[in-house]
Every structure is written in structure tokens, then in C-alpha cells.
A and B are shown apart, each in its own frame.
Chain A
Amino acid sequence: MYNDLRYSRQIILDCFGVEGQAKLKKAKILVAGSGGLGSPALLYLAAAGVGNIGVVDFDTVTLSNLNRQILHFASDLGRRKTDSAEEKLNKLNPEVNVIKHNTRIDIDNVEDIISGYDVVIDATDNFTARYLISDCCYFMKKPLVEGAAVGLDGILMTIIPNKTPCYRCLYPYPPEDGVLPTCSDVGILGPVTGVIGSMQALEAIKLVVGIGENVTSRILTFDALAGSFREVKWPKRESCPLCGKEPKITELVQYEIKCRIKGP
């Protein structure tokens, strides 16, 4: 039985109920990355009582992470992020099962990692991982919540394979080498990743419980300086290299994408 009091404020929601809570308890949600996006997403999933939460991260906690990666504390410096994440999530909610994947997602392990989950949240910080995850979710028919943030901009899009536009309908191929700045170049304000990461958790919860409408066939863009969201209807790209009529991407691809080299 559930600790009803812990979840009482969501169970009393008309659309949610004990049925919704039971679905969350059974759910297996993977969060790829436990940084700026993954931190709030993981915290909210654990707090909501998602029964099985996977976390993938190969990295250790460094001081420059702490302005936004709110799952990790000063006392965690040097520690594996997956260990830090497991400890915090267990402390927040001992009822959830945390599965650690202390590895960098690559072309050889992505299928194994994703295969055990119902829903995937992409909270990684680079396009190499994003194309691997989104292509793999498409091939394995796993719902995917894509979210990203850099500088003062954020973007969100949920993908249901064979039903909605895919990640490559938005971004057919990665940007060419040398045109994109890195996160450490442009900077990032913590609450910007907080907004997008929180929305990714919300999207995953809605998917699992089966309520409302997900952000599919459209994208949300967030302009933190303007303080505004925009909804952009985004249809399938006819020439989409993944889900279009003549797909060119028929197996996983691991891109090497070089970011812009920081000027003097």
C-alpha cells in the first residue's frame, strides 16, 4: 500500500486519483543525465512516487556544476553523480527504486540502457547523446521527452514513435562542426534548466498516468530574458531522415560534433 499522506495532494486531483498513483509506482522512467535538467526532473519524479527511476551519468560533481545541478551539493564534490543522485533520491523518498548507470551513453550501450524503461527523459548536454537517444527511442518505440537549455533559452518536445514528429523532424542532422558554442562558453542560469527539467518530469508523469495532452507535434520554446514561452506547431518533416518516407537513418549513428572553439 502507498503511504497515502505522502501522495495525498496529487491523489486528490480529479484526473489523477489512486489509479494514477498506482501507475506511477509501476512505472520505469529513465533520466539520461543528472545535471541541470536531470536534477529537477529526478527530484520531481522521486517526490511523485515513480517506482523505478534510472539515472545515467558518467561524470563526477565539480564546483561549476552547482549553480544549476541542484541534486548535487558542495559535500558531493568529486563524487560520482549517480551515487550522489541515488543518495538524494532515496533520502527524499525511500519508496522509490533508483537504478544507477554509471557510464557515458554510446552507440554500444544505449539500447541496453533504454530497453528496461517505459519512458525516457533526455537530459543530456550534447547532440551526440541526443541523436543516439532519440534514434534509439524511435527504433525501440519508447516515448521520449526531449528538453534542452543553453544560455537563457530552453526548448521542450515530447515524441511518441510512429505517432508524432520525431527529434529529426525538428533537427534532421546535427549542426556542423564549429558553429555551436559549448555550455561552458555561453553560460547557463540555473532556473532556466530548472524550468525545462521540471517540465520534462511533468511530461513523463502525464505520459505514464495518461492524462492531458503532451507537447507533441509542437515544441515549446522558453525565452528566459523575455519571460515568455512560445508554442510552435511542428509537423512531421516529409523528408525526415528517420521517420520520413525515405528514411536514411536506419541504424544508430554516433556523431562527432565539435563545438566552437572559444575565442581569445
Chain B
Amino acid sequence: MYTVTVNGKRLEFNETLTIKDYLESAGVDPKIVVVEHNYEIPDKSKWNEITLKDGDNLEIVKFIGGG
């Protein structure tokens, strides 16, 4: 088991997950968010290559453009 902090909340996982896997499992449409991984911003094309590890920090920010 390992722990990843997602938007400030500590979540525990057993299975190996990429960023893309996590978004899918959380029901987040990857088309409407941007992602920061360990305080760096990976290109969207890397989301299915980066595997989440114990202690990682993930920030998922929605596209918000209204007013």
C-alpha cells in the first residue's frame, strides 16, 4: 500500500496507477483538468507514463473560465 496526496487529501492505493489511471478511477474527465505532479507540471502526453509513488503530491485543477 502507498499514499498519495491528491488536492491536499491523503489517499491510499494498492494497485499501480499512472496519472491517467488515477483520473479515470476518480471519474475525472482528463479533458477538463490540468495536473501538477510533485510541484512540476508534466505535459498531458506524459500522464499515461508517470506512475504514482508513495509520498507523491498531485494537484488537479479544473478549467474554470466563467464569470
Residues of A within 8 A of B (CB): 33, 35-38, 123-127, 130, 147-151, 153-155, 169-172, 175-176, 179-180, 183, 186, 188, 193, 196-197, 219, 221, 230, 232-235, 237-239
Consensus secondary structure, chain A interface: mixed
Taking beta carbons and an 8 Å cutoff, which residues of B are in contact with A? 7-8, 29, 31-32, 34, 36, 39-41, 43, 59, 61-67
Residues of A within 8 A of B59 (CB): 232
Q: Are B67 and A232 in contact (CB under 8 A)?
A: no
Contact yes or no, B64 A150, CB < 8 A: yes
The count of A-to-B residue pairs whose CB atoms sit within 8 angstroms is 73
- Are B67 and A193 in contact, with the CB atoms below 8 A? yes
Which residues of the other chain, A, contact B31 by a CB distance below 8 angstroms?
Answer: 175-176, 179
CB atoms of A126 and B65 under 8 A apart: yes
B64 touches A149 (CB 8 A): yes
B67 & A38 in contact (Cβ 8 Å cutoff) = yes
Q: Tell me if A147 and B29 are in contact (CB < 8 A).
A: no
Cβ–Cβ contact A171 & B67, under 8 A: no
The docked-state distance in angstroms from the alpha carbon of A36 to that of B34 is: 24
- Write out the residue numbers on chain B whose beta carbons fall within 8 Å of the beta carbon of A172: 34
Instruction: Give the complex CA separation of A237 and B44 in angstroms.
Output: 12
Pairwise interchain contact A147-B36, C-beta atoms closer than 8 A:
no
Checking B29, B34, B64 against A154 with a beta-carbon cut-off of 8 angstroms, the contacting residue is B64
